[in-house]
A = this chain, B = another copy of it.
Amino acid sequence: MRLKDLGERRLIRALRRFFPARPPGVVLGVGDDAAVVRGPRNLILTHDLLVEDVDFRRALHPPRLLGRKALNVNLSDIAAMGGRPLHAVLGLALPGGTKREWLQRFLAGFREAAREAGVALVGGDMSAAARAVISVTVTGQAAVFVPRGGARPGDRVFVSGTLGDAAMGLRLLERSAKTGRSRPARRLVRAFLDPSPRLDLGFLLARRRLASAMIDISDGLAVDLSHICEESRTGAEIDLAKIPVSEELRRASGRPLGLALYGGEDFELLFAVRPRNLARLRLLAKRFDITEVGRIISGRKIWAVGRDGKKRPLAIRGYEHFK
């Protein structure tokens, strides 16, 4: 197939310019049938498929930041396992009319994020598509890893960072023609366009055996907590007043709590901690921004405890960002 062949050659040429042919631990890199790398004993594999107008909008997302995010959402999965990332494989299907600059900036962003995390890009595939598709696979390692299903009644529930910023950032981007971009809004927009994977926190929570269950918040606190509860066969209670919400989000939104619970795309960590480990966790809390938001309970229901102290069932639903 000529289109595919030319596309692949073009990508490989671009990749080779952007990335060293053989980073440490990589026996055979970009440009062969497959990459050969030194494998760790516990190998972590994570895969994300990002489709234009479903998972991202090209018009809203500068290509460099999209390149960063395409890798970082996978690194967030590695962080949620408590692992260290090692290698990345990148697939790109782009419309025929894609500009060379767009590809170069996308790859520059991908490379930037890879360098920040010490990840080696070791292979790729290219195809064509009317709407862009980005597929990324990342390998990692973890001597100790944290599954979703390890929570037990009595565990406390924590989140890192603040929630809802990214969802509000996306809304601001969509409305940008009307609102312009004030300084606080820029932080929200950045949270959406360029999220940071919490690799150091995830790794330490695993290595120090502090987290009993962990997930990254991609679909919103409510949905991702339901994943932990489902896999752990537990319920949970969330104190709505404790959910960390940024000053910028409070100023920008009339309903910050809704965005924090359901907005998604935060790429913060949500994890459970046994009561006996709380003292040791507090040592980590000096270096990392983490907040206790609730507890794991028996049963299979998830409750929201309001400011009035009343418990109501928490609705578990996602958010449709793009129609």
Contacts and interface: CB of A to CB of B under 8 A. Distances in A.
Contact of A128 (B3, B40, B51, B139): B51
A215 B3 contact: no
A321 interface: yes
A148 interface: yes
Contacts of A127: 49-51, 54-55
Most chain B beta-carbon neighbours within 10 Å: one of A39, A44, A49, A91 = A49
Nearest to A88: B45
A223 interface: yes
Contacts of A92: 49
A242 interface: no
Interface residues of A, number: 76
A51 B93 contact: yes
Contacts of A77: 33-34
Contact of A317 (B2, B44, B81, B133): B2
Contact of A145 (B5, B28, B93): B28
A143 to B, nearest CB: 11
A264 to B, nearest CB: 6
A231 B31 contact: yes
Nearest to A140: B34
A272 interface: no
A253 B32 CA distance: 32
A129 interface: yes
A188 interface: no
A139 B122 CA distance: 12
Nearest to A317: B2
A147 interface: yes
A137 B4 CA distance: 18
A67 interface: no
Contact of A39 (B41, B48, B214): B41
A319 B81 contact: no
17 contacts: A1-B320, A2-B320, A4-B219, A32-B148, A32-B231, A33-B81, A33-B148, A34-B80, A36-B44, A48-B125, A54-B128, A54-B129, A55-B127, A129-B129, A129-B131, A135-B135, A137-B137
Given A1-B219, A51-B133, 19 more contacts: A1-B264, A2-B320, A4-B54, A4-B318, A5-B318, A6-B318, A32-B149, A33-B80, A34-B45, A34-B46, A34-B77, A35-B44, A38-B42, A47-B89, A47-B125, A49-B125, A49-B135, A51-B128, A54-B127
